[in-house]
Amino acid sequence: QVQLVESGGGLIQAGGSLRLSCRASLRPFSYFTLGWYRQAPGKEREFVGISSWNGGATYYADSMKGRSTISRDNAENTVSLEMDNLKPDDTAVYYCIAVKMYGNYLQPDYWGQGTQVTVSS
């Protein structure tokens, strides 16, 4: 049974920082690409970023480059998203995702339930 459970969302003022976490039940954990998507109100889900199976490579959406860090701890079965300099348009539900080996990160295999991030002006 696969579960991805996000935590760490909340209300943050613009310019602040936030760290989201996701705990996964995936086995073996290290064979999956892990990452994050988000969905703003009234909009479709969009890609945020991913981390490779061993955490050695990351790829971010343009809006996240330079102010976000995705990290994974395979011993603890967690992946995190740290965001700095938050903006009001970062307001969204953030989803943890997992991609099988040889899978396509644009078509994630597993999704969490999401955690709300609201950035005030």
* Residue (of 85, 80, 41) closest to 64 by Cα position: 85
Beta carbons of 68 and 84 less than 8 angstroms apart: yes
Taking residues 1-29, report their average pLDDT: 92
CB neighbourhood size of 4 (10 A) = 21
Beta carbons of 21 and 7 less than 8 angstroms apart: yes
Residue with tokens 């310019």: 15
The pLDDT score that the predictor gives to residue 1 is 66
pLDDT in tens, 32-73: 899 999 999 999 999 999 998 877 899 999 988 999 999 998
The pLDDT score that the predictor gives to residue 26 is 80
**The pLDDT of residue 98 is above 80:** yes
Q: Both tokens of residue 24?
A: 């996964």
Alpha helical stretches, state H, the chain:
none
**The pLDDT of residue 114 is above 70:** yes
Rg (CA), the chain: 13
Q: What is the mean pLDDT of the chain?
A: 93
Per-residue b or e along 63-95, where b marks 16 or more CB atoms closer than 10 Å to that residue's CB: bbeeebbbebebeebbbbbebeebeeebbbbbb
Residue partners of 54: CB distance under 8 A and separation at least 6? 30, 74
